[in-house]
Amino acid sequence: MESTTSAIVEALTRAIAAHRLLPGAKLAEQKLADHFGVSRTLVRQALFQLAQNRLVKLEPARGAFVAAPTVEEARQVFAVRRMLEAEMARAFAREATPARLKALREHIAQEKAAAEAGDAAARNALLGDFHVRMAELLGNEVLAQILRDLASRSSLVSLMYQRAGAAEHSQQEHVQIVRALAARDEDTAARLMTEHLRHVEESLAFDRPQPTQDIAQALGP
């Protein structure tokens, strides 16, 4: 039962991170149950877990909706990410190995390939996963889990507020960060990571209208 619930949580989280499930979208329990071939009880458990992670908002008598972060929440998410990820960059630079650097370069190559193929969903998911991948390669699963949650919340923020073209700059900045990591330059790596996250935040247009999307399309093939 737990694995099934986790699979639903993972699928919905991925749909959010890949920009296929948008803020404000209604998550109807029966539609989800039919889609995953499970009971509404399991769906309800998954939605409750997502609500604890701030990715879903549960409203009495109305149901579950993909969360729509406020401007203040958006700023707080990026403030926390800068605090955590600047130090993560320092740690990675200190502990960089050829295998870890190779893994990051392969990830960046996937980002570039997705961008060149015009696959916005894959590109956006990979851009968020880059930060999680750094934590995983450091062997810090606690940090990786925290960054997974923050990356998903950042995806919601970018869906609501990010200007067109910002993702392209993110991929280029990832390349610069990896160069600093390869040089074992802790200060530069931390500075580039901080600037990168600040640039992402600065690309947000907080007067942008809230998008909507049907869940069947978001979770479809």
The pLDDT of residue 214 is above 70: no
* DSSP H stretches of helix in 37-185: 40-52, 71-94, 98-116, 120-138, 141-161, 166-182
Query: For 167-186, what is each residue's pLDDT tens digit?
Result: 678 889 999 999 999 999 99
The overall average pLDDT reported for the chain is 87
Residue 64 sits at φ, ψ, to 5 deg, of -105, 140
pTM assigned to the model: 0.74
Cβ(105)–Cβ(127) below 8 Å: no
Domains and CATH numbers, the chain: 2-68+209-218 (1.10.10.10), 71-202 (1.20.120.530)
pLDDT, tens digit, 9 for 90 and up, residues 112-130: 998 888 887 788 788 889 9
Q: Which tens digits make up the pLDDT trace of 135-169?
A: 999 999 999 999 988 988 887 787 777 665 666 78
